[in-house]
């Protein structure tokens, strides 16, 4: 098989890039090691920056997003003393949209299949070679047969544990990373949300977040030890702990119900030293992992795709490799700015084991300053709603 572009990974980054390539007449194939059903079963984030929303609409997969997505003008932030509102719309004239990643993924699969895109599922043993040459190759196995794809470019969108990341990192060049000893225990419940917008909470008992997927589907998180397990938490225990991490004035209207999904996500950070080598470009989790506090994971994947698509179109349309050569530098500038914001939010809202009392006071002061300073709220709003591409 011969293709201009091979996309490895059928998550949001790979799918968004596939939509862009198809709409612009660039020949590609997308290979995914799992089934489509498995990809759609993964519960992930759902807070979208305006830049992400615009890209989805531009490629023709935004109809359901526009009809069912919830536009939020800001977020609520609570402390032991009460809560306050940061109004993005008023401060920076931007908003966010709440729409589940699973729904985004489903919309893009539906569109790509209706457009006749070349999607290959259950591709096993994926490997890639010669990506520093002019003719990179991808190999995979399906139904016991080994297949070879010759291409001009390979785009690795196959996540942190994928083959693409491993090709760009080795023992001496494995990126920048940090791991916190805490995680988020999250549940999904068929209950109305706590408030009309997200609520972030810092308390002496630890962090909590009240989020939502719709007006009848809520997502709640509490900070737990990284060594904890979901099965250690009954629904009753979770709701009891959640209620104690918000001010009384907020939780008096909390609607509790049985969980339909429960999991723990680690709080970790990783940024690759480079997001490209030769004819191989990385997008999304293959290149970086951000703590979920700033809602940047999916949105960074979308901005990577924006820059990768610029490089790809310049290469094929103008026979210009400048975009490929500059892709990593350009994408990493935005990645590190978003990482800074996510790490700052994480440190400010969480109680970190073994952090000394001085540092705890500094983080509490950061939150107090955010409450009192319009200038600080504006910076917060600029970052939360999404920096420009």
98: pLDDT strictly greater than 80: yes
Catalytic residue among 72, 195, 306, 330: 72
Residue 353 falls in the annotated catalytic set: no
140 is catalytic: no
Task: Give 44-84 pLDDT, tens digit per residue.
Answer: 778 999 999 999 999 999 999 999 999 999 999 998 778 99
Q: Taking a C-beta distance cutoff of 8 angstroms, is the pair 71, 53 a contact?
A: no
Under CATH, which number does the domain 2-51+97-177+268-348 receive? 3.50.50.60
> Closest by alpha carbon to 302, among 112, 122, 56, 114?
56
The structural domains of the chain, with segments of one domain joined by +, span 2-51+97-177+268-348
Instruction: Determine which one of 296, 306, 330, 350 is catalytic.
Output: 296
The position carrying tokens 């931007």 is: 94
361 has catalytic annotation:
no
For residues 112 and 320, give the distance between their C-alpha atoms in angstroms, rounded to a whole number: 28
Q: Which of 109, 288, 292, 307 is catalytic?
A: 292
Number of helices (H), then strands (E), belonging to the chain: the values are: 13, 19
For residue 296, indicate whether it is catalytic. yes
Bridge partners of 178, per DSSP, are 269
Catalytic residue (one of 76, 99, 200, 307) = 200
Q: What is the pLDDT of residue 80?
A: 79
Residue 83: other Cβ atoms inside 10 A: 17
Model pLDDT, residue 232 = 98
pTM over 0.75: yes
For residue 355, what are the CA distances in angstroms to 132, 181, 209, 347?
Answer: 44, 11, 21, 10
* Residue 315 to residue 325: CA distance in whole angstroms: 10
Question: Residue 316 to residues 23, 24, 313, 324: CA-CA distances in angstroms?
Answer: 14, 11, 5, 11
292 catalytically annotated: yes
Task: Using pLDDT thresholds of 50, 70 and 90, give the confidence band for residue 43.
Answer: confident
Q: State pLDDT tens for residues 339-365.
A: 999 999 999 999 999 899 999 999 999
Asked whether 103 and 12 are in contact (CB, 8 A), the reply is no
């Amino acid at each position: 098989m011969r293709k201009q572009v091979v996309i490895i990974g059928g998550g949001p980054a790979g799918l968004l890039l596939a939509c862009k390539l198809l709409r612009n007449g660039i020949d590609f194939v997308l290979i995914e090691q799992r089934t489509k059903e498995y990809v759609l079963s993964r519960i992930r984030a759902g807070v979208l920056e305006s830049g992400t929303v615009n890209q989805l609409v531009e490629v023709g997969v935004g109809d359901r997003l526009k009809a069912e997505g919830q536009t939020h003008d800001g977020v609520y932030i609570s402390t032991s003393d009460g809560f306050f509102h940061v109004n993005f719309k008023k401060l920076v004239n931007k908003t966010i949209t709440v729409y589940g990643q699973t729904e985004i993924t489903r919309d893009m699969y539906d569109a790509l299949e209706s457009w006749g895109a070349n999607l290959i599922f259950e591709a096993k043993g994926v490997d890639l070679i010669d990506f520093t040459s002019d003719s990179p190759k991808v190999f995979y196995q399906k139904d016991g047969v080994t297949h070879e794809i010759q291409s001009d470019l390979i785009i690795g969108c196959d996540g942190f544990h994928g083959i693409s990341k491993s090709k760009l990192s080795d023992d001496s060049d494995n990126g920048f990373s940090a791991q916190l000893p805490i995680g988020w225990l999250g549940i999904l419940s068929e209950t109305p949300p706590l408030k009309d917008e997200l609520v972030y909470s810092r308390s002496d008992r630890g962090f909590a977040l009240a989020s939502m997927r719709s007006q009848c589907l809520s997502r709640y998180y509490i900070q737990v030890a990284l060594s904890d397990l979901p099965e250690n938490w009954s629904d009753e225990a979770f709701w009891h702990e959640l209620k104690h991490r918000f001010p009384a004035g907020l939780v008096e209207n909390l609607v509790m119900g049985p969980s339909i999904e429960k999991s723990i996500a680690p709080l970790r950070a990783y940024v690759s030293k480079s997001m490209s080598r030769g004819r191989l470009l990385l997008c999304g989790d293959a290149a970086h992992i951000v703590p979920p506090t700033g809602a940047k994971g999916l949105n960074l994947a979308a901005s990577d795709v924006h820059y990768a698509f610029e490089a790809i179109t310049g290469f094929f349309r103008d026979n210009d490799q400048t975009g490929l050569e500059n892709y990593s530098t350009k994408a990493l500038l935005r990645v590190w700015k978003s990482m800074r914001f996510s790490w700052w939010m994480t440190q400010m809202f969480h109680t970190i084991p073994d952090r000394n009392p001085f540092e705890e006071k500094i983080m509490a002061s950061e939150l107090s300053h955010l409450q009192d300073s319009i200038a600080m709220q504006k910076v917060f709003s600029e970052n939360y709603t999404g920096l420009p591409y």
